[in-house]
């Protein structure tokens, strides 16, 4: 069956099933972010402990994700090196300076996130929200790779402890889906679990649907590690090393309880000697993992043979450095995959690092951040063009727009100033480019232009005044007449 032949109810079933699949995939990786994942390499003796040794889980997942998110700072939308004021205003109105961090993190954890755009946002700007993959799904056109249908699901509280499912389905009125041109059709899930058509979107939805470089619905996917239109979590390569490190860490805690302190032993005890405070027999595995190892004597075989005396002793405490070295090895494996500096993973070389070695150690991390800025920036640009259509402007007029990000290498202000100064003095760049390289905001640049303009105007007025001075009234002027000794006290005449 062709997609254009699907009914709204069939679209709902198709996309809601996709949301379930996305939720299942994302949940696996959010467990690692929230330190809720189970141990994978579980030793049998620990599995039999009835939860006596809870797993020790390491927060490497958050380290891998946040080390990139902390370096992602969106600055502005630029068109021909000039800001797009409507989109910069919308960014501030929708509080995306804070919310964008959550979107970037979710994109990298689950491999998929969404931006939702609509009219009637704060401050007169369009509304832009970030949506998780367990609430939104889209259908991609196999030719353009752009969404041609979308579903938004959520739950609404209707009382104490009660909630109801809500859903909105977006189907564009274009030849690829409905056979005729028009605004995007919107369907709402009613109480009978049927899709009921409501008021369509504005004419801006027809504009974006007819542009093959834009989604046909107001939903923009954000993909990490995109492959054939699907995203892939940034934690996939971390999982094997992290599972092993969690197991070693848990074993370390178990070994610390039983081996870091010298274990006692007794020879000549019997099974009946090991009972709890209520007189109940203690299982042998608990005896084996307890603080005392008990070994009974062999029974006497000859009449009158004396049983050996009971002996008690203590083993030497164990050295746990083998766990430390194993843990360090897995940390190095994880760091090498993600380009993390040694200090990020908690280990360092014996020699203090130089400034050059520190910069070299973060090179791959900077490149990883730049790649994710490229992926996220493409989605933000698409959302920006949809906003342009909502503002009744031609979205194709900003098709060449770029997303400007702060330098992920996070250079110091002094180093940026030094490089900019050398560029200006060498005639390579002008003041405007120097301000861009330093990272000044548009408001700061406006203030600099205004203050520099005022100083230039004051200088020009002063120069004009100097040219208009009547030097003929000054002392020592060569007028062909003897100098008047009182002329030096005469006031200078300054032109207006």
Strands of 209-337, DSSP E: 219-223, 264-267, 292-295, 311-314
Structure tokens that stand for 265 in this block: 């032993």
Dihedrals phi, psi of 414, to nearest 5 degrees: -65, -40
Q: Apex CA 267: angle with CA 266 and CA 271, to 5°?
A: 85
- Give the pLDDT score at 493: 41
What does the alpha-carbon distance between residue 258 and residue 288 come to, in Å, rounded to a whole number? 10
**Unique residue bearing structure tokens 């993909």:** 223
- Looking at residue 285, its pLDDT comes to 46
Return the ∠ at Cα 397 (arms to 395 and 402), rounded to 5°.
90
Integer Cα distance of 34 and 257 in angstroms: 26
Q: Which two tokens stand for residue 443?
A: 């408001």
d(CA 53, CA 51): 5
In this predicted model, what pLDDT tens digit does every residue of 222-245 receive, in sequence order?
999 998 888 999 999 999 999 999
For residues 483 and 349, which has the higher predicted lDDT (pLDDT)? 349
Residue matched to tokens 């990020």: 344
The residue among 6, 78, 59, 494 whose CA lies nearest residue 245 is 59
Is residue 85 pLDDT above 90, yes or no? yes
Instruction: Evaluate if residue 405 carries a pLDDT over 70.
Output: yes
Question: Residue 488's pLDDT is what?
Answer: 45
Q: Greater confidence, 359 or 143?
A: 143
With the C-alpha atoms ordered 410, 115, 92, 156, is the resulting torsion angle positive or negative? negative
For residue 200, what are its two tokens?
A: 């369509």
CB 254 within 8 A of CB 421: no
CA angle (221 as vertex; 218, 225 as ends), nearest 5: 170
Is 0.85 topped by the overall pTM? Answer: no
Residue written as token pair 């900003």: 398
pLDDT value of position 412 = 66
pLDDT at 484 over 50: no
Place of tokens 């070299």: 360
Percent of the chain with pLDDT over 90: 46
Average pLDDT of the segment spanning 261-265: 60
Percentage above 70 pLDDT, the chain:
77
Q: Residue 42 pLDDT more than 90? A: no
pLDDT at 381 over 60: yes
- Would the pLDDT of 122 be above 80? yes
- With 0-12 CB in 10 A as exposed, 13-18 as middle and 19+ as buried, what is 303? exposed
Q: Give pLDDT tens digits for 449-469.
A: 888 888 888 878 887 887 777
Q: What's the pLDDT band for 434 if we cut at 50, 70, 90?
A: confident
Beta bridge partners of 314: 264
Helices (H), 347-488: 355-361, 363-390, 413-425, 431-438, 442-467
Distances from the Cα of 188 to the Cαs of 3, 12, 20, 151, in angstroms? 19, 10, 19, 10
Q: For the segment 17-35, what is each residue's pLDDT rounded down to a tens digit?
A: 999 999 999 999 999 999 9
| Inter-CA distances, 401 with 83, 121, 443, Å | 9, 22, 20
**Token representation of residue 115:** 């931006």
């Amino acid at each position: 069956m062709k997609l254009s032949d699907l009914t709204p109810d069939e679209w709902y079933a198709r996309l809601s099933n996709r949301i379930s699949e996305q939720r299942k995939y994302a949940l696996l990786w959010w467990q690692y972010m929230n330190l809720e994942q189970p141990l994978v390499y579980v030793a049998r003796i620990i599995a039999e402990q009835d939860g006596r040794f809870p797993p020790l889980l390491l927060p490497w997942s958050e380290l891998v994700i946040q080390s990139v998110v902390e370096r992602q700072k969106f600055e502005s939308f630029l068109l021909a090196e000039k800001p797009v004021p409507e989109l910069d205003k919308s960014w501030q109105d929708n509080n995306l300076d804070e919310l964008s961090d959550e979107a970037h993190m979710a994109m990298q954890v689950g491999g998929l996130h969404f931006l939702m755009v609509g009219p009637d946002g704060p401050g007169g700007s369009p509304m832009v929200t970030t949506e998780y993959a367990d609430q939104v799904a889209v259908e991609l056109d196999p030719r353009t790779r752009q969404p041609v249908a979308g579903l938004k699901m959520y739950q609404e509280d209707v009382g104490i402890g009660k909630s109801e499912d809500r859903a909105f389905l977006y189907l564009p009125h274009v030849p690829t889906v409905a056979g005729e041109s028009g605004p995007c059709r919107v369907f709402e899930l009613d109480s009978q679990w049927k899709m009921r058509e409501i008021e369509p979107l504005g004419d801006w939805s027809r504009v974006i649907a007819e542009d093959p470089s834009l989604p046909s619905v107001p939903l923009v996917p954000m993909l990490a590690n995109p492959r054939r239109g699907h995203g892939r979590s940034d934690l996939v390569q971390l999982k094997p090393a992290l599972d092993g490190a969690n197991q070693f860490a848990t074993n370390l805690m178990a070994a610390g309880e039983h081996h870091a302190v010298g274990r006692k032993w007794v020879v000549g005890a019997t099974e009946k000697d090991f009972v709890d405070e209520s007189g109940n027999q203690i299982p042998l595995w608990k005896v084996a993992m307890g603080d005392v190892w008990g070994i009974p004597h062999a029974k006497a075989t000859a009449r009158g043979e004396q049983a050996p005396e009971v002996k008690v002793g203590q083993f030497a405490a164990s050295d746990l450095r083998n766990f430390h070295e194993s843990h360090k090895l897995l940390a190095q494996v994880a760091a090498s995959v993600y380009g993390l500096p040694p200090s990020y993973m908690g280990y360092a070389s014996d020699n203090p690092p130089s400034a050059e070695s520190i910069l070299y150690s973060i090179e791959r991390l900077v490149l990883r951040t730049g790649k994710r800025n490229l992926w996220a920036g493409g989605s933000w640009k698409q959302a920006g063009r949809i906003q342009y259509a909502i503002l009744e402007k031609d979205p194709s007029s900003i098709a060449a727009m770029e997303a400007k990000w702060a330098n992920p290498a996070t250079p110091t202000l002094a180093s940026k100033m030094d490089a900019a100064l050398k560029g200006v003095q060498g005639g390579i760049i002008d003041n405007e480019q120097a301000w861009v390289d330093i990272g000044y905001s548009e408001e700061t640049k406006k203030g600099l232009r205004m203050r520099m303009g005022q100083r230039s105007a004051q200088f020009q007025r002063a120069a004009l005044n100097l040219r208009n001075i009547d030097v003929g009234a000054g002392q020592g002027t060569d007028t062909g007449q003897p100098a008047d000794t009182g002329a030096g006290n005469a006031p200078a005449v300054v032109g207006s």
